[in-house]
Structure 1
Amino acid sequence: MPIRLKKLIGAVLLVLLVILYALVATIIAVGQLAESGPLVHLAFFLFSGILWILPAMGIIKWLILEPRPRKIKP
Structure 2
Amino acid sequence: MTQRTRKLVGTIVIIVFVMIYGPIAMTLADSRIAELPGIAQAVVYMLLGLVWVVPVLPLIKWMQKPDPDQA
Provide TM-score, normalisation by structure 1. 0.75
Partner AA of 2:27 in structure 1: I
Any gaps of 5 or more consecutive residues in structure 1? 70-74
Higher helix share: 2
Mark the structure with the bigger radius of gyration. 1
Higher relative contact order structure (alpha carbons within 8 Å, sequence separation ≥ 6): 2
Change (3 A) 1:4 1:67: closer
* Count of residue correspondences: 69
Provide TM-score, normalisation by structure 2. 0.78
CA-based RMSD of the aligned residues comes to: 1.7
Q: Do residues 15 (structure 1) and 7 (structure 2) align?
A: no
Matches within 5 A, 1:1-74: 1-68=1-68
Any gaps of 5 or more consecutive residues in structure 2? none
